[in-house]
């Protein structure tokens, strides 16, 4: 009887040990499989960067994404640097701005500066230019991104401001590698000048309508005080799009 009990005890012990070994083997197998999967995934994303000092392995990052804030900040910085300088910062600013625009577009702007003798005029008249960015409009729904920028360039001779020139341009933005010279990872392409005609926002339209309505009211009050009828063109409200009515012009009947 004692031998039977010992046999049962030994069987239970062996069964427990066997189950523990099986569970341990499964855990090890799953861990090894997951580790192998991670290694193969990283190996597939591994690239080699060749430099003057040799080659180094690196993991490829996922596709970079750019926000409208980043793109707008890049365009603003480019415009202020490319078109705002004096005789001391001319070369430095161009060196900083040119990596942000494609080669042909940058050369065209630089050649325009040379033809206009911009640097020579800075030196001759102690002049400088300052660029103020009024607005930037971006369309980042499709690639390549597109946009327009509206600015005003102020020209100073000594301490006196001589001119304020409106300037606008359209452009595309393509994605490129980030670098020390271009930390944004965006490159300006198809840069071209356009007429300065920025879109009018809803708030600006409402302000123009209120301004025109106030002007019409003052004209009517002045005409009534003088005892004369106001001209027909001045008694009409501003057009629906918010643009002020031309003096003396009667809008067409609806």
Same domain for 75 and 177: yes
Tokens 């003396």 label which residue?
248
pLDDT digits (tens, 9 = 90+) for 81-106: 999 999 999 999 999 999 999 999 99
DSSP 101: B
Same domain for 125 and 32: no
Residues near 185 by Cβ (< 8 Å), separated by ≥ 6?
64, 66, 175, 176, 177, 178
Same domain for 144 and 81: yes
CA 38 – CA 59 distance, rounded (Å): 13
Q: Which of 12-16, 99-103, 131-135, 213-217 has the lowest mean pLDDT?
A: 12-16
Same domain for 88 and 14: no
Burial 33-71 (b: 16+ CB within 10 A, else e): eeeeeeeeeeeeeeeeeeeeeeeeeeeeeeeeeeeeeeb
Same domain for 144 and 26: no
pLDDT digits (tens, 9 = 90+) for 17-55: 777 777 877 777 777 777 766 766 655 555 555 555 555
Mark which of 147, 171, 194 sits at the end of a domain: 194
| pLDDT of amino acid 44 | 53
Task: Decide: helix, strand or coil at residue 88.
Answer: coil
> pLDDT band for position 232 (50/70/90)?
low
Instruction: Give the residue-averaged pLDDT of 117-126.
Output: 96
CA 231 – CA 66 distance, rounded (Å): 55
CA 24 – CA 45 distance, rounded (Å): 32
More confident residue, 4 or 186: 186
Domain region containing 15: 1-41
| pLDDT of amino acid 49 | 54
CA 137 – CA 198 distance, rounded (Å): 9
pLDDT exceeds cutoff 90 at 217: no
155: tokens are 């020209």
Residues near 192 by Cβ (< 8 Å), separated by ≥ 6?
169, 170, 171
Burial 100-125 (b: 16+ CB within 10 A, else e): bbbeebbeebeeeeeeeebbeebeee
Share of the chain above pLDDT 70, in %: 71
Runs of H (alpha helix) within 68-180: 68-83, 90-97, 103-115, 118-125
pLDDT digits (tens, 9 = 90+) for 193-208: 999 998 876 776 777 7
pLDDT digits (tens, 9 = 90+) for 24-33: 777 777 777 7
Q: How many CB atoms lie within 10 A of CB 147?
A: 19
Same domain for 25 and 141: no
pLDDT exceeds cutoff 90 at 213: no
Tokens 């060749």 label which residue?
50
More confident residue, 182 or 53: 182
Same domain for 76 and 36: no
CATH number, position 138: 3.10.450.230
| pLDDT of amino acid 198 | 87
| pLDDT of amino acid 229 | 60
Question: Is residue 247 within 8 Å of 233, Cβ to Cβ?
Answer: yes
Residues near 170 by Cβ (< 8 Å), separated by ≥ 6?
146, 147, 148, 190, 191, 192, 194
Same domain for 181 and 80: yes
Q: Average model confidence (pLDDT) for the chain?
A: 80
For the chain, the domain total comes to: 2
| pLDDT of amino acid 5 | 58
């Amino acid at each position: 009887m004692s031998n039977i009990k010992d046999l049962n005890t030994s069987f239970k012990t062996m069964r427990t040990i066997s189950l523990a070994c099986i569970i341990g083997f499964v855990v090890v197998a799953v861990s090894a499989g997951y580790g192998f999967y991670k290694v193969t995934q990283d190996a597939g994303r591994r690239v080699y960067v060749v430099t003057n000092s040799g080659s180094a392995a690196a993991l490829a990052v996922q596709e970079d994404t750019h926000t409208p804030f980043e793109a707008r900040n890049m365009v603003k910085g480019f415009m202020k640097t490319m078109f705002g300088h004096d005789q001391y910062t001319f070369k430095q600013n161009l060196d900083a701005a040119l990596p942000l625009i494609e080669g042909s577009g940058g050369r065209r702007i630089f050649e325009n500066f040379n033809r206009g003798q911009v640097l020579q005029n800075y030196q001759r008249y102690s002049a400088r230019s300052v660029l103020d960015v009024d607005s930037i409009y971006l369309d980042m729904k499709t690639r390549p991104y597109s946009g327009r920028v509206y600015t005003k360039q102020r020209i100073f001779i000594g301490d006196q401001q001589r001119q304020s020139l409106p300037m606008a341009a359209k452009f595309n933005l393509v994605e490129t590698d980030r670098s020390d010279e271009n930390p944004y990872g965006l490159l300006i392409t198809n840069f071209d000048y356009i007429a300065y005609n920025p879109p009018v926002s809803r708030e600006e339209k409402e302000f123009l309508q209120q301004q025109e309505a106030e002007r019409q009211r003052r004209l009517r009050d002045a005409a009534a005080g003088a005892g004369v009828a106001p001209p027909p063109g001045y008694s009409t409200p501003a057009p629906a799009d918010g643009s002020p009515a031309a003096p003396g012009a009667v809008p067409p009947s609806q």
